[in-house]
Amino acid sequence: MNLRSLIDERAEKQASNSFIIDAATKRTYTYAQTRSIVSAIADGIRERGIEPGESVAFAMNNSAACALTVLGIMYGGYRATAINLVSGSRTIAYVLEHSEARLILTEPVQHTLLNEIFSLRKSDAPLLTELPVWDLDDTAIDAFLEELSKQPDRQQPDVQQSVEIAPVDDALLMYTSGTTGTPKGVQLSHSNLLGGGNNTCLAHELTSADRAMCVLPLYHINGLVVTLMGPLVSCGSVVIPGKFSASAFWTTIDAFSCTWFSVVPTQISYLLHAEPKTTDAAAGHKSLRFGRSASAPLSPEVQQSFEDRFGVAIVETMGLTETAAPILSNPLPPQVRKIGSPGVAFGCEVIIVDAQLSEVSPGMEGEILVRGDNVMKGYYKNPDASSDALTPTGWLRTGDLGKKDDDGYVFVTGRLKELIIKGGENIAPREIDEALYRHPSVIEAAAFACPCDNYGQRVEAAVSVDAASELDESILLEFCQDFLGKFKTPDRIYFLDELPKGPSGKIQRRRLVELFASG
């Protein structure tokens, strides 16, 4: 099955069921309306001269319009290319150039960012040819509905039916920083995305009666697969606010009778530290079955405090962009949840292996490997990285270290990769290093992760500079922001005479963590 055939099936068998609900406009889109709109979007892409299989980017904030846009791209047989709006203009330019995007589906509020990207013509940025842009905000979606209402007997266009989509065809291209600092495009097929949605349903026992709240960006794998594909596979529904708001979170849950939500530890921390409200107690959220934490390790102390305060069970999980999100999850209560573990495998195989990739016994530490329908096809136009990540027998090497207990629960013990995970976002230290090295006064540079109550980890860095330089922290931070965007720019930059090195002369990031992580 592919996403088009599943949407068609839902529209034919559950036509009047609610699917996507926009929290801001309170507009509900049924499965029948969804099929009509995404078909019209696919037609619009085709009319702009884009061939099936080509990349079509989406650069939008969360909304029902964004969800319908993404589905419309995939429905037409195009490769939906996610644009991370906070990744910085140069990274976005790279993604658009590398993905060979032919068209950008966006909204008027993003025009300033896109104009900035298209104006980049410096030697250190891709020479990106300005791409055609199509605005698909709420106004455009309303226009679709008005036009469709005049055609009650409208059939699906012949051209769409003539374009065959195989389960192995690309559906999504989502870029991740990886360990090299150069974004890598994760190729996910229709089968991969449906596999990720199915794993979500299995882990959380989702049915057509369930309603998710999606507060994570749809340009992240968690938001797109867990809280959009999950409800599509289960024939449920999803409420989409414009953004996460601690003050509006519980009000939205109650107003739309949401039964579950997926958040990152950062958001759990914000909710926990928000001012007490009369709706804090579980009695105020009668529809809610559970909350889900993903994208970064959740502190056991934070999890326990959250559950004590709100009376809502938090299910810790683990997933990757390369696995279309979920691979591990704790079962729902009253089954056993092991605090500190992201749980057991659902819908895929997860093993722990030694350096020779042989499975080890329970209790022994090794690398976490994953195999299943949800595992990516590979990295776009990067065969070397693909062969490094995927074994000949289909296992994905996650780069994470962990152990399994006798019950099959996985405990993550470390990372082979040096990623910084800030609020669920993967940031490669080398990407920060390279931005710092762009300044002519910087001699040595190294970024590293420090614990952070709000984000799980924060970005910090250390540099050594030319003795004659008058460079200070504020100037260098502003310099970084131009290259990295605000989110990836370090919170602190420390100035040292020389950075600590090992016997081989390599800078030791762990030493920097030891020096500065405490304060």
How many C-beta atoms surround the C-beta of residue 505 within 10 A? 6
Query: Which numeric CATH code is attached to 341-415?
Result: 2.30.38.10
The Cβ of residue 163 has, within 10 Å, a number of other Cβ atoms equal to: 18
Look at the domain 420-516 and name its fold: GMP Synthetase; Chain A, domain 3 (3.30.300)
pLDDT tens-digit readout, 296-322: 777 787 888 899 989 999 999 999 999
Decide: 194 and 232 in contact? Cβ < 8 Å: no
CB 202 within 8 A of CB 224: no
**343-400 tens-digit pLDDT:** 999 999 999 999 999 999 999 999 999 999 999 999 999 999 999 999 999 999 998 8
Paired with 319 in beta bridges are 326
* Superfamily (CATH) of domain 3-317: ANL, N-terminal domain (3.40.50.12780)
Residue 258, phi then psi, degrees to nearest 5: -70, 145
- Please report the beta strands in 24-177, taking only residues with DSSP state E, as ranges in sequence order: 28-30, 55-59, 79-82, 103-106, 133-135, 170-176
The predicted model gives 423-443 an average pLDDT of 84
Where do the H-state alpha helices sit in 104-206?
A: 111-118, 138-149, 158-162, 190-204
389: left (phi over 0), alpha (psi -120 to 50) or beta: alpha
List the one residue out of 482, 462, 474, 446 whose CA is nearest residue 124: 482
pLDDT grade for 438, boundaries at 50, 70 and 90: confident
**Could you state, in order of their start, the residue ranges of all structural domains in the chain?**
3-317, 341-415, 420-516
SS3 213: strand
CA atoms within 13 A on the CB side of 516: 26
pLDDT of residue 158: 44
Cβ contacts of residue 97 below 8 Å, gap of 6+? 126, 127, 128
What does the alpha-carbon distance between residue 316 and residue 304 come to, in Å, rounded to a whole number? 12
User: What pLDDT is stored for residue 503 in this prediction?
Assistant: 46
Q: Who contacts 31 (Cβ-Cβ below 8 Å, separation ≥6)?
A: 7, 10, 11, 14, 15, 16, 17, 19, 235
Work out the mean pLDDT of the chain and round it to a whole number: 89
Give the separation between CA 145 and CA 29, rounded to whole angstroms. Answer: 10
pLDDT for the residue numbered 52:
95
Quote helix, strand, coil % in the chain, to nearest 5.
Answer: 35, 25, 40
Q: With the C-alpha atoms ordered 324, 329, 333, 334, is the resulting torsion angle positive or negative?
A: positive
Residues paired with residue 412 on neighbouring β-strands, in sequence order: 402
